[in-house]
């Protein structure tokens, strides 16, 4: 039998040449693929732009569709705003009327005490000239006793400017070589936007939920006309530049031993109508048990809610996961799961909510007054809420203490309450019909009792999953403004920016100031020190040499 002949040469130099050739071909293929993706994206953008123009023309021709009904809370907030304005207007009218009389004093409405203005704001002193003579006797011998200061908060309208970076050229008289300093760095290749402008653009879109078309309209009113597509180019390229920080935050979160997890719906544009996609969040927050590691939030986007998504997100992670009872997490809790099973920790806020809805006396009274059908108020549900509230009372006293202290307090105070709660729930379940709403609420806890008692064995476990729900609040708030994502790529980009902005907020860092400084420094920042740009390591913008 003949030996197989290797197609590779034995000579080292020939191998190096072959490797160099293969590397070159791989780079060329990657470049062609990137160009194809760019061309495809540009085509899709043109198609989307044309569709938008057609939709606008149809709207002008056939008139706008009916507005969506506002939610009750939004209406109440608007009513409160109008009532406060009415009260202030009436106060001024009362003062004006009281000034015309000598016997009637103006009504003074009780207002909350106003906090002093922040110390970091610059102060501009405007000194009122003192009189040259005494107004009472006309004497000129005046002696200064002191001064009274009245502070008035004022705002300076946003100012735009164009920075011209001049790069002078020089030629050498000896060798005739021409030299010139390098061009300034822009986050976007061949870009024109400065880091502060890009930070404002991103924070307004993802932090304040202002779509680019509304920002473009505001910029135009300020005398700087910029098209929506131009702004979208900047957003896409800037999100790509910030991707390394997103990966660092992801690594930091997956290094935790305990995580909060949750998801929420996000509409995404489809061919005929919007599909219901999902934004997932995983939060690392060790502050309740005095942990030293900084908090962070990691968002992921998916087109649906299949269980494979959390399994992919947490494929290399094991620890304690605090989440709701979503079945998609089930395979994470499997005993044979690799690298190790994930331990489930129940959320008492979810459990309490099911009982609270059946014992909400105030809501039932409001519905009855409006003539609506009010559900029954169950004494069992009310007692369940009160028993769970006893656990929350213990948690409030130990919040912020280290894990050992929390565990000791729970074993002393919370363990007896949990034992009583389990016995009481079991007794009540035996008296109820299997399909009763109360039976469903009780079974929600009893079937997951090991998850709900996890906090009795580990002081790091929280009683609720509220950390993840707080991190997700930005999505429901934003949906009212932007309604839906334009594409799956848009949803993925939103997940990146929500992670960066949410992590900055968790660390009490101004997201816009942080983004502006990071975008100004990230190109020249050493890769080995990229951790310095993370929100919890950020110490504020660096003062450049020679800057005013």
Q: Is the dihedral of CA 273, 216, 238, 206 positive or negative?
A: negative
258 strand-pairing partners: 320
Of 300-314, 355-369, 373-387, which one has max mean pLDDT?
300-314
**For residues 476 and 219, which has the higher predicted lDDT (pLDDT)?**
219
Q: What is the pLDDT of residues 113-156, one digit of tens each?
A: 667 878 888 888 888 888 888 888 888 888 888 888 888 777 77
- What pLDDT is attached to residue 131? 82
Better-predicted residue by pLDDT, 2 or 261: 261
| Entry pTM | 0.76
Cα 396 to its chain centre, rounded Å, is 25
pLDDT at 479 (0 to 100):
77
Indicate if the pLDDT at residue 6 is higher than 90: no
Q: How many CB atoms lie within 10 A of CB 312?
A: 11
Quick check: is 109 in a domain? no
Domain annotation covers residue 190: no
Res 253: pLDDT: 95
**Greatest mean pLDDT range, 68-77, 477-486, 506-515:** 506-515
Q: What is the mean pLDDT of residues 270-287?
A: 85
pLDDT of residue 64: 42
User: Does any domain span residue 449?
Assistant: yes
Question: Which residues are CB-neighbours of 504 under 8 A, at least 6 positions away?
Answer: 510, 511, 514, 515, 535
Question: Residue 176: what pLDDT?
Answer: 82
Least confident of 77-86, 109-118, 514-523: 77-86
pLDDT in tens, 355-370: 888 887 556 656 665 6
Residue 78: inside a domain:
no
Which pLDDT value is given to residue 105? Answer: 61
Average pLDDT over residues 172-177: 84
**pLDDT on residue 544:** 37
Q: What DSSP designation does 485 have?
A: B
Look at residue 439 and tell me if it is in a domain: yes
Mean pLDDT of 53-62: 56
What would the mean pLDDT of 61-84 be, rounded to a whole number? 44
Q: Which residue has the higher pLDDT, 43 or 257?
A: 257
* Mean pLDDT value across the chain: 81
What are the DSSP E strand ranges found in 269-402? 275-284, 296-302, 320-322, 343-345
Percent of the chain with pLDDT strictly greater than 70: 77
pLDDT above 50 (res 63): no
Comparing 108-112, 290-294, 487-491, which segment has the lowest mean pLDDT? 108-112
Tell me which residue of 257, 261, 313 sits closest to 289, measured CA to CA: 257
- The answer to which of 60-64, 142-146, 495-499 has the lowest mean pLDDT is 60-64
DSSP at 532: G
Question: Among 34-38, 76-80, 273-277, 309-313, whose mean pLDDT is lowest?
Answer: 76-80
Q: Which of the two residues, 130 and 78, has the higher pLDDT score?
A: 130
Which of 537, 467, 466, 480 is closest to 504 using CA atoms?
Answer: 537
Mean pLDDT, range 267-289, rounded to an integer: 85
Question: Tell me, what's the pLDDT at 65?
Answer: 38
Residue 364 tokens read as 């039932």
- Across 67-71, 222-226, 508-512, least confident range: 67-71
**Strands (E) located in 89-218:** 170-171, 178-179
Three-state secondary structure call for residue 259: strand
Domain that holds residue 353: 348-464
Question: How is 392-444 classified by DSSP, letter by letter?
Answer: HHHHHHHTTS-HHHHHHHIIIIIHHHHHHHHHHHHHHHHTS-TTSHHHHHHHH
258 three-state secondary structure: strand
Overall domain count for the chain: 1
The Cα-based distances of 328 to 256, 333, 337 in angstroms read 21, 10, 14
Contact yes or no for 231/438 (Cβ under 8 A): no
Q: Write a three-state SS string for 143-174.
A: CCCCCCCCCCCCCCCCCCCCCCCCCCCEECCC
pLDDT of 100 over the 90 cut: no
CA distances from residue 480 to 19, 69, 301, 302, 502 in whole angstroms, order as listed: 55, 12, 19, 20, 19
Does the residue 25 lie in any domain?
Answer: no
Main-chain phi, psi angles of 499, to 5 degrees = -65, -45
Q: Is residue 283 part of a domain?
A: no
When pLDDT is cut at 50, 70 and 90, the band that residue 378 belongs to is confident
- State the Cα–Cα distance between residues 506 and 497, nearest whole angstrom: 14
C-beta of residue 360 within 8 angstroms of C-beta of residue 408: no
What ranges in 433-483 are assigned the alpha helix state H?
437-446, 449-452, 466-472, 474-482
Does residue 544 form part of some domain?
Answer: no
| 333/99 Cα distance (integer angstroms) | 73
């Amino acid at each position: 039998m003949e030996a197989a002949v290797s197609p590779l040469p034995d000579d080292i130099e020939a191998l190096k040449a072959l490797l160099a050739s293969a590397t070159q071909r791989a780079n060329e293929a990657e470049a062609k693929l990137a160009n194809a993706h760019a061309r495809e994206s540009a085509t899709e953008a043109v198609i989307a732009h044309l569709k938008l123009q057609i939709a606008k023309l149809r709207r002008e021709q056939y008139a706008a569709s009916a507005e969506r009904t506002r939610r009750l809370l939004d209406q109440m907030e608007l009513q409160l705003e109008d009532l406060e304005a009415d009260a202030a207007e009436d106060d001024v009218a009362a003062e004006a009327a009281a000034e015309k009389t000598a016997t009637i004093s103006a009504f003074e409405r009780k207002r909350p005490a106003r906090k002093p203005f922040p110390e970091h704001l610059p102060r501009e002193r405007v000194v009122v000239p003192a009189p040259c003579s005494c107004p009472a006797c006309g004497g000129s011998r005046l002696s200064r006793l002191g001064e009274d200061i009245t502070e008035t908060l004022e705002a300076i309208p946003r100012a735009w400017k164009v920075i011209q970076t001049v790069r002078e050229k020089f030629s050498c008289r000896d060798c005739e070589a021409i030299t010139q300093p390098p061009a300034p760095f822009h986050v976007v290749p061949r870009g024109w936007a400065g880091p502060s402008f890009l930070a404002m653009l991103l924070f307004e879109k993802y932090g304040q939920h202002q779509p680019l078309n509304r920002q473009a309209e505001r910029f135009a009113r300020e005398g700087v006309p910029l098209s929506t597509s131009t702004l979208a180019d900047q957003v896409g390229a800037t999100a790509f530049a910030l991707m390394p920080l997103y990966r660092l935050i992801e690594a930091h979160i997956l290094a935790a031993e305990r995580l909060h997890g949750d998801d929420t719906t996000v509409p995404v544009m489809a061919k005929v109508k919007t599909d219901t996609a999902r934004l997932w969040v995983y939060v690392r927050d060790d502050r309740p048990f005095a942990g030293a590691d900084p908090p962070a939030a990691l968002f992921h986007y998916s087109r649906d809610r299949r269980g494979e998504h959390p399994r992919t997100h947490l494929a290399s992670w094991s620890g304690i996961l605090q989440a709701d009872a979503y079945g998609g997490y089930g395979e994470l809790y499997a005993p044979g799961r690799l690298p190790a099973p994930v331990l489930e920790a129940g959320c008492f806020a979810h459990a309490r909510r099911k009982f609270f809805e059946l014992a909400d006396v105030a809501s039932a009274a409001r519905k009855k007054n409006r003539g609506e059908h009010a559900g029954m108020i169950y004494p069992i549900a009310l007692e369940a809420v009160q028993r769970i509230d006893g656990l929350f009372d213990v948690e409030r006293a130990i919040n912020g203490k280290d894990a050992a202290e929390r565990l000791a307090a729970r074993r002393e105070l919370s363990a007896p309450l949990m034992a009583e709660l389990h016995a009481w729930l079991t007794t009540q379940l035996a008296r109820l019909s299997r399909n009763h709403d109360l039976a469903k609420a009780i079974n929600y806890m009893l079937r997951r009792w090991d998850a709900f008692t996890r906090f009795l064995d580990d002081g790091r476990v929280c009683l609720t999953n509220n950390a993840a729900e707080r991190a997700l609040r930005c999505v429901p708030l934003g949906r009212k403004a932007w309604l839906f994502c334009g594409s799956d790529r848009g949803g993925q980009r939103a997940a990146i920016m929500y992670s960066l902005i949410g992590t900055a907020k968790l660390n009490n860092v101004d997201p816009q100031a942080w983004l502006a400084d990071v975008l100004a420094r990230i190109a020249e920042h050493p890769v080995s020190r990229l951790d310095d740009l993370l929100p919890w390591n950020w110490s504020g913008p660096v003062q450049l040499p020679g800057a005013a």
